[in-house]
């Protein structure tokens, strides 16, 4: 299911939209080459020989001829902290606040899936510093609070907030004292002079035994390909306010070279640290977020 960035804010109920996206994804999963993935939701789990038979659901057995055991609120398989970059560059394209809107809806879909699997989830938003941070929990009231926080992240205008991904990741790594899956939504537009600090922060998360999924959120058409009409444009740095007037064709190749070099280095470092790097183009559908999550979760069992 593709996220309609123009309609999300008008609809408003993020929890309902998240459920629609996840259920659509699962329906498609069963019809796709990836149907072998088991999306095991919380109500039941397959009975394994040797386990206690106390919680076998015999009604389900009568209908399916398969043994399942009931699962309960306190059963938590996974702890997950979702981080969303809310700096000014994430409000691009400004007409739709596209990167932030995409990240919010993707985080909502993951939150819904984590809840259904009885996994514990927390939410952190950040720019130069941590803006909001919730505990990690699996209770329905806590998850509902996360959905409300995600809805409030859809303001009318972009604030003036710079990015300091490295600082925040170090802070998060130091504050999490239990092993978890850390999911990051960010364009990673850090000052290039601080690239080594950024890579060190990612390594810090892995050094503390956390699993990491990095979704590199971009508008592929303009931010990767620099595909603009060949006429004079004024480009504005949304974090510094700096303005540059230029014809895109004059700098396109140089821009692509610089961008590709940074992306290649980021991907290389993630590979070295065993961090899953996923290009999250906001023009693609939600499957490009949920499927890598399922792959990662299946490896953590």
Is a pLDDT exceeding 50 seen at residue 72? Answer: no
Contact (CB, 8 A) for 258 and 173: no
Dist CA 280 CA 17 (whole Å): 19
For the ranges 28-32, 39-43, 124-128, which has the lowest average pLDDT?
Answer: 39-43
Tell me what pLDDT residue 274 has.
92
CB neighbour list of residue 248: distance below 8 Å, 6 or more residues apart = 226, 228, 229, 230, 233
pLDDT average, residue stretch 65-79: 66
pLDDT average, residue stretch 15-37: 75
Is a pLDDT exceeding 80 seen at residue 75? Answer: no
Opening angle at CA 77, ends 29 and 271, nearest 5: 70
Residue ranges of the domains in the chain?
8-31+75-299, 41-72
Per residue in 258-300, pLDDT (tens digit) is 989 989 999 999 999 999 999 999 998 888 899 999 888 877 7
Question: What count of residues does the chain have?
Answer: 301
Per residue in 217-241, pLDDT (tens digit) is 999 999 988 988 888 888 877 777 7
- Please count the other Cβ atoms lying within 10 Å of the Cβ belonging to residue 90: 27
Per residue in 193-208, pLDDT (tens digit) is 778 899 999 999 999 8
CATH class, domain 8-31+75-299, is alpha beta
Percent of all residues in the chain with a pLDDT value above 70, rounded to a whole number: 86
Residue 118, phi-psi category: left (phi > 0), alpha (psi -120 to 50), beta (remainder): left
Is a pLDDT exceeding 80 seen at residue 68? Answer: no
Average pLDDT over all residues of the chain:
84
Q: What is the CA radius of gyration of the chain?
A: 21
Count Cα neighbours of 107 within 13 Å in the Cβ-side half-sphere.
34
Contacts 24+ apart (CB under 8 A), 221-225: 221/283, 222/93, 223/92, 223/187, 223/259, 224/256, 224/259, 224/263, 224/281, 225/256
Tell me what pLDDT residue 45 has.
64
Tell me what pLDDT residue 71 has.
57
Tokens for 233?
């444009």
Residue 241, phi-psi category: left (phi > 0), alpha (psi -120 to 50), beta (remainder): left
Phi/psi of residue 5, nearest 5 degrees: -65, -25
Tell me what pLDDT residue 70 has.
64
The pTM for the full model equals: 0.82
Is a pLDDT exceeding 50 seen at residue 186? Answer: yes
121 beta partners: 80, 137
Per residue in 83-126, pLDDT (tens digit) is 999 998 898 887 777 899 999 999 999 999 999 888 999 999 99
């Amino acid at each position: 299911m593709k996220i309609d960035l123009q309609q999300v804010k008008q609809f408003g109920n993020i929890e309902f939209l998240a459920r629609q996206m996840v259920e659509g994804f699962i329906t498609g999963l069963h019809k796709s080459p990836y149907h072998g993935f088991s999306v095991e939701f919380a109500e039941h789990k397959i009975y394994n020989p040797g386990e206690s038979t106390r919680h076998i659901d015999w009604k389900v057995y009568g209908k399916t001829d398969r043994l399942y055991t009931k699962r309960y609120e306190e059963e938590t398989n996974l702890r997950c902290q979702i981080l969303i970059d809310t700096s000014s560059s994430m409000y691009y394209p400004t007409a739709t606040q596209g990167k932030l809107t995409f990240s919010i809806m993707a985080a909502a879909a993951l939150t819904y899936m984590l809840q259904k699997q009885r996994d514990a989830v927390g939410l952190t938003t950040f720019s130069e510093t941590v803006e909001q941070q919730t505990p990690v929990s699996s209770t329905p009231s806590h998850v509902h609070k996360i959905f409300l926080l995600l809805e409030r992240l859809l303001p009318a205008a972009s604030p003036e907030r710079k990015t300091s991904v490295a600082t925040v990741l170090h802070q998060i790594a130091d504050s999490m004292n239990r092993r978890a899956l850390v999911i990051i939504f960010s364009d990673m537009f850090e000052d290039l002079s601080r690239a080594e600090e950024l890579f060190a922060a990612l390594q810090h998360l892995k050094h503390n035994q956390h699993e990491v999924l990095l979704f590199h959120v971009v508008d592929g058409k303009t931010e990767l390909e620099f595909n603009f009409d060949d006429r004079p444009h004024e480009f504005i740095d949304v974090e510094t306010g700096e303005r540059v007037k230029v014809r895109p064709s004059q700098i396109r190749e140089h821009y692509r070279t610089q961008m590709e070099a940074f992306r290649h280095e980021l991907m290389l470092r993630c590979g070295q640290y065993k961090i899953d790097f996923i290009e999250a183009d906001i023009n693609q559908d939600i499957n490009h977020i949920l499927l890598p999550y399922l792959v990662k979760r299946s490896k953590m069992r």
